[in-house]
Copies of this chain bind each other. A is one copy, B any other.
Amino acid sequence: MDKQSQLKAFRIGITQFVTFSDTEWEIFTTYLSFSSLNKKEHFAVEGKVCDYMAFITRGAVRYYHIKDGQEITGYFSFENELMSAYKSFVKRTPNRNYIQALEETELVMISYQHLQQMLNHPLLALKMERFGRLIAEYYICCYEDRVTAFITQSPEERYTALEKTAGDIFQRVPQHFIANFLGITPVSLSRIRKRTLLQH
């Protein structure tokens, strides 16, 4: 995808948070950069401070931890979504997980340095503070729902809910990654799927 199309997609994608005037957008875009990831390439790795947040114009990534030598996938992001090792990015602390491309992925990126510059730029500061706030609030709401699911639902209920709200994820992501995401083992997810199928 050419850069103009990517920028256009980015501009549309963030209207849920903030809308820039043409002048503001002109300034804003001078702080952006572009990148792409081959399949299995990493956007963030454990132990390093994550210096970028990115908007995915094409592709998909997974977030995973390593525990006892095992990879455990905790989350996914797809095209038209923002991505970052949030905690590491905002707190400037070493990242504790990995972000890896599941497919060939294209990104529009903002570096931490450029973000700080924008937060100090008289014409952008207020809007960028708001942008940051609204992004964070958006993700808080996502997290709230996710934690609620872990607290109030059984693995089977979480699976059924996912199937209903984002069933197409099963066509795009290996099932054992989704199992981790649901907080269970791949074997267990396979059993749940069989169980819930037989009930119909």
Contacts and interface: CB of A to CB of B under 8 A. Distances in A.
Interface of A: 65, 67, 72, 74-75, 86-87, 90-91, 96-97, 125-126, 129-130, 132-133, 136-137, 139-141, 143-144, 146-148, 150-152, 180-181, 183
A141 B139 CA distance: 10
A143 B143 contact: yes
Contacts of A125: 126
Given A136-B140, A140-B139, A151 B90 contact: no
A58 B87 CA distance: 29
A61 to B, nearest CB: 16
B152 A72 contact: yes
Contacts of A90: 137, 140-141
A152 B67 contact: yes
A75 to B, nearest CB: 8
Given A67-B152, A152-B72, A183-B151, A86 B144 contact: yes
Contacts of A74: 147-148, 151-152
19 contacts: A65-B151, A65-B152, A72-B151, A72-B152, A74-B151, A86-B141, A87-B141, A87-B144, A90-B140, A126-B129, A133-B136, A136-B139, A139-B143, A140-B140, A143-B143, A143-B146, A147-B150, A150-B150, A151-B183
